[in-house]
Structure 1
């Protein structure tokens, strides 16, 4: 069994909670209120800016040219494809330019990624980044199979269920396995812990959008 297969098996309950979350259930049905989707898209744009920074950090720490190029390509994909998706919905739904303030869950997630990629091991950094790729692909495929006709969120669904995004995920999984092949058992356990933490934060991100999460008043 590949190491990444053991990672995925460790988040079965988390993944089931994600696909059964009302945000994704209603997104699949096309009934998710636009206000909640707009909140999600604004926060996702803020998230992706820091995610790209975390990828750049990993590129700087890469032990070989092949890995360095992979991280550069991942960052390019974020900039080109996912930001194009945001721009499309911002225009179509009349969503305002993203606020500069991250929600509490977005703040927790991005700071976890930035801290892990900068201050923890290279192995842990890769494992922390992987759920953003992998979980989104699986959620995209799941929703694609049951999406209601004329779904207003079809472009979102098609992006994450699409071949291009799927190829990025395959490369991220392969890179993680390659890194794990040279990791000690202790390093693998830390990779697993980072992967689980990011997966939990993925659930929190969707949940925060559904609740229109805000900071407590100062």
Structure 2
């Protein structure tokens, strides 16, 4: 299963906010054996969102989008997704009801709270609602595109509703080494040739420790490759 992640927001591109959503989603999907093939960060621009959605929905099994679900002028993800999939936009009754309930609860404590309910309730026609249990704006699903909120707590909560949709057959094993990265080249080339696996070496902070990640669609091959690597004193099992 090949999945692309799209994070939407000018603030991400400006570096004002760290893109923790992309990292969290990539880890969560990889844990489920999914091949995360691409991560894209795009601005709050309708046409840019539309062209990315149109391209990615054709090239990947599924697309996960975060950000831009709200009532402010820069919240244009709904419009961009609809345009990318050639769908009309309409007020979704279920979305309206969920947002209305959330806004009323907020106004019980903050009567001055302003929120454009009509704008926030717009969704591509025929989309499926994904409830947002910890925030205001629900996510939605259109075809193979899953759109979830950008606030990290809301993103994680909403994603858990669709996590069962993502299952793949990529298996991984992580090992460790304190050897200089360039000194591992012969060993890493050897395991690729011997077992036809994908191997990555990733220095951690300070560069003293390295993570060595072995990947394949065959779990037995991954285990065999890991055992082969650990026969070398430079490499050990991850704690």
**Superposition TM-score tier, normalisation by shorter sequence:** under 0.3
Q: TM-score, normalised by structure 1?
A: 0.28
Pick the structure with more helix per residue: 1
Which of the pair is proportionally richer in strand? 2
Question: Relative CO higher for 1 or 2, CA cutoff 8 Å, sep ≥ 6?
Answer: 1
State the TM-score, normalized to the length of structure 2.
Answer: 0.26
